[in-house]
Structure 1
């Protein structure tokens, strides 16, 4: 297994509110761990929320006694959400902060995934497949037929999410179990990438550098910035 992570402030933002975690070695009961978090909130609250949640979550995983990957992730997510709400209540400047969170661990050829919000996880092989489902207003509008999927990237409400850590007392992630093949590439990212690029363009760049994950990730960041760089851009790429 090889991996690479990168986060970039983009062209328009003054603060990077994204935070990534990329560890190929074991963390507690998990053999590896990969996370992308995209924070939200005024002042520095979004920056604080994403970093706080990744740090609390990973520390909880290190000491978690659950026996299954999903059990460990689920317990750690609720614990992280509880502490984030407590933190927000102790500091007026942090009230209302929250973060998206997509996390994955790979055990042999099975990947366990959880997500809250609209940061995404893809599997790239002969094509590109989005594994996670966006928890966003525009995704709900696609489901009800109000808009077409091709219009999502340009919709004025594309940044309104319907779930996040810090939004409610109970957190409701989606969970996925994915069988991976040799040479599959897993790509996790914040919406600073996917709002600036089509999925097919992301796939083409990744497949252009199948053995050089660093160049692939940096090329994606450069392309997103050239397309406008309207938001922070964060990427984790993993290859079996």
Structure 2
């Protein structure tokens, strides 16, 4: 269990100055008998004048960020991916993370957040459920997430797949910690959202140097 307080002074895009405090509470519990990890985190912004560094970086008090998708008719249609309104400062945030081990069959997890704001009754809600496991040294995970955000008319749903394959599995070599190639791995990530957009990302990572002090990842 932990508790901390943050005080911030901020100047926003309209040159207005603000001052406020944030109190954070964290509680974590592990029940080893059942293989369950439970974590509850609550953020409470006690005054309307608290803003984060990300808030200060915005050049406008309110605005949208867009992504573009090919719609099959040779033109790009903008899709809203983010919205901010600095007149709605964060009020309180609740976050929940629970994971359950299934022993040799991997593990299940669920995560969620709920964010409220000052000056509006609207709120942000996000949750994700997933399954992780491994097979002959290959790690993989499946997930589903749902997101509803202030200022964005439609909620977003994303299905994701992540796979990580050690190089020694690909080369069928016996693993040795001294060999940099054996400590390397290939990763692959695929996502599809409710707008029909697909994203793909492949990469390579691992550790280098004596003592494995340097970690790297290229994608």
Same fold (TM over 0.5): no
Greater gyration radius: 2
> Higher strand proportion, which one?
2
Higher RCO (Cα < 8 Å, 6 or more apart)? 1
State the TM-score, normalizing by the size of structure 2.
0.27
